[in-house]
Amino acid sequence: MCLLLMSLLMIPLVVGCGGGGDEKPAEAPWLNTDCGDNDADCDSATTADDCDDTDPSIYPGAPEVIDDGVDQDCNGHDAITCTGDYESAYAEHCAIITGTLTVNRDGSLPLLHSLEEVTGDLIFWLSSMPSLTSASIDSLLYVGGHLGIYGEDLNHPLNSVSFDSLSHVGGTLSFDGNSALTSISLDSLTDVGEGLTFAHNYALTSIILDRLTAIGGTLQVDFNTELVDFSFDSLTNIGGLRITDNSRLTSFSLEGLSTIGGIVQIWGNDSLCQSNVDSFVSAMEALGWDGGSMTSSNADC
């Protein structure tokens, strides 16, 4: 009888026949019932949402392993390396682009959901995207070339820019000619290889970069007519400094700055006290800086 059962049924009954007692049948290792009937692999994604409920490294929003042929984040595709220059409409699922990326079509930014790195320049053509009000790529970590947001003084409606995971820009980083831009969020940015420019942004009132430590080129803050203050207190090294014609600017804070590679130009800021500018220059001279300065025509106070 027992042999018959062995041939017809599965392992649990065989164990019972063997006279070995009441051992619980072995379970597949991923079937951890402690997590409930709707989450077999205990990754907190329910069976209905999890595209692989036998693997806890796979669930909606999971970190992707690039080019492994496996869809870890359950968006239907692996994240891949894309070789060459791309336009945003054709860059969906690219995690790494080994060339330039041009963002030039309204509605195409969500396609960049997997993008982590662009080895060349990342260019936004705002004139081709007249409806874009928010520019955000949350997954972006690294841009090897230049990154620019150029509104070209065209009264473009773009009002916020957010690259909250971006830590490094190898070339220049520029925000220039944006008439409606009020919010710039670069919470992870630590270094810019060449210059960092904020110029002709006529609605920008404040800039705070908490993690930025080094700028290879000049920090340039020019003609931001509503800008009241900016603060880059973790910044230690810059190639040069230029702050001009920001008519409402009353203060700037560069508390950690120890090295300026070149000239300091601070002039034409109608609300910035000349005495504070002079104090800043004296403090830098005390640190050994001798790169020369042009610091006049600020507020008489």
Residues that bind Ca ion (CB under 5 A): 41, 43, 50, 52, 55, 58-59, 64-65, 68, 70, 72, 78
Q: How far apart are CA 265 and CA 92, in angstroms?
A: 43
In the bound state with Ca ion, the residue whose beta carbon lies nearer, of 33 and 134, is: 33
Q: How far apart are CA 142 and CA 11, in angstroms?
A: 53
Q: How far is the CB of 130 from Ca ion (least distance, A)?
A: 35
Q: How far is the CB of 43 from Ca ion (least distance, A)?
A: 4
In the bound state with Ca ion, the residue whose beta carbon lies nearer, of 41 and 191, is: 41
Q: How far is the CB of 91 from Ca ion (least distance, A)?
A: 17
Q: Which amino acid is at 51?
A: C
Q: How far is the CB of 41 from Ca ion (least distance, A)?
A: 5
Q: What CA dihedral angle connects 159, 164, 169 and 172, to 10 degrees?
A: 20
In the bound state with Ca ion, the residue whose beta carbon lies nearer, of 52 and 176, is: 52
In the bound state with Ca ion, the residue whose beta carbon lies nearer, of 54 and 258, is: 54
CA distances from 186 to 19, 109, 136, 228 (A): 67, 17, 10, 19
Q: Are 299 and 269 in contact (CB under 8 A)?
A: yes
DSSP β-bridge partners for residue 196: 173, 219
In the bound state with Ca ion, the residue whose beta carbon lies nearer, of 58 and 135, is: 58
Q: How far is the CB of 202 from Ca ion (least distance, A)?
A: 43
Q: How far apart are CA 192 and CA 209, in angstroms?
A: 12
In the bound state with Ca ion, the residue whose beta carbon lies nearer, of 6 and 35, is: 35
User: Six-digit token pair at 96?
Assistant: 């790494």
Q: Give strand ranges (E) for 27-131.
A: 80-83, 86-87, 94-98, 101-103, 117-118, 122-125
Q: How far apart are CA 42 and CA 76, in angstroms?
A: 21
In the bound state with Ca ion, the residue whose beta carbon lies nearer, of 22 and 37, is: 37
First to last CA, the chain: 104
Q: How far is the CB of 62 from Ca ion (least distance, A)?
A: 8
Q: How far is the CB of 73 from Ca ion (least distance, A)?
A: 8
Task: Work out the number of other CB atoms within 10 angstroms of the CB of residue 35.
Answer: 15
